[in-house]
Amino acid sequence: MNELKQKILTDGRLLDGYILKVDNFLNHQLDVGLLERVGEAFAERFAGVKIDKILTIEASGIAVACMAARHFGYPPVVFAKKTQSLNMDPDAYEVEVFSYTKQTTYKVRVSRRYLSAGEKVLIIDDFLANGHAARGLIDIVRQAGAEPVGLGIVIEKGFQDGRKVVEDAGVRLESLAILKSFEGGKVNFA
């Protein structure tokens, strides 16, 4: 998606040569016009795929998933919650996810009320890096007996293992911008 790649080049900030900050349009300040086109791009990529529900994870994923829902005929959007809590909630599907950036494990939860057996679920997230969060969301969908029909990612770090993790899990992956490297102190796309 060209507009997105241009935005990454003009507005993304590369910290310490290897951390891409896009918090002026995706992770703290949101460019809702751009997200409209991001949602539209997902609808093109997944054209013809039956989707009953969109699943994402708080916080930034919520904006992307809502804008995508508009282009998929307004299926319900469910956002998984991140929590440090140790309590098991019997009414929730739950997985543990290891955060590489924070070097800690957190729990991801979705209430059993909002995922049902047989539902076809499109998972949407802002970033794909090592695939831990994506794998967790796929596991939650399968715990519910629902089917993860695809994973739509805004920015994929193509030099990390996320794609392999998602493909090994048997889920179709569509990323709108794939980063190849940060060589030369700049963002290079695949």
> Which residues of the chain form contacts with its own copies (CB under 8 A)?
23-24, 28-33, 35-36, 58-60, 62-63, 65-67, 69-70, 74, 76-79, 81, 110-111, 113-114
- Give whichever of 136 and 163 is closer to its own copies, judged by the CB atom: 136
Q: Is 24 annotated as a binding residue?
A: no
Tell me the closest approach of the beta carbon of residue 81 to its own copies, in angstroms.
7
The CB-based long-range contact list for 68-76 (8 Å cut-off, 24+ gap) reads 68/38, 68/39, 68/42, 68/43, 68/122, 68/124, 68/152, 69/39, 70/36, 70/39, 71/39, 71/40, 71/42, 71/43, 72/42, 72/43, 72/46, 72/122, 75/51, 75/122, 76/114
- What residue type is 167 in one-letter code? E
- Give whichever of 70 and 180 is closer to its own copies, judged by the CB atom: 70
- Give whichever of 114 and 159 is closer to its own copies, judged by the CB atom: 114
Tell me the closest approach of the beta carbon of residue 114 to its own copies, in angstroms.
4
Tell me the closest approach of the beta carbon of residue 167 to its own copies, in angstroms.
28
Q: Is 132 annotated as a binding residue?
A: yes
Q: Six-digit token pair at 119?
A: 């539902």
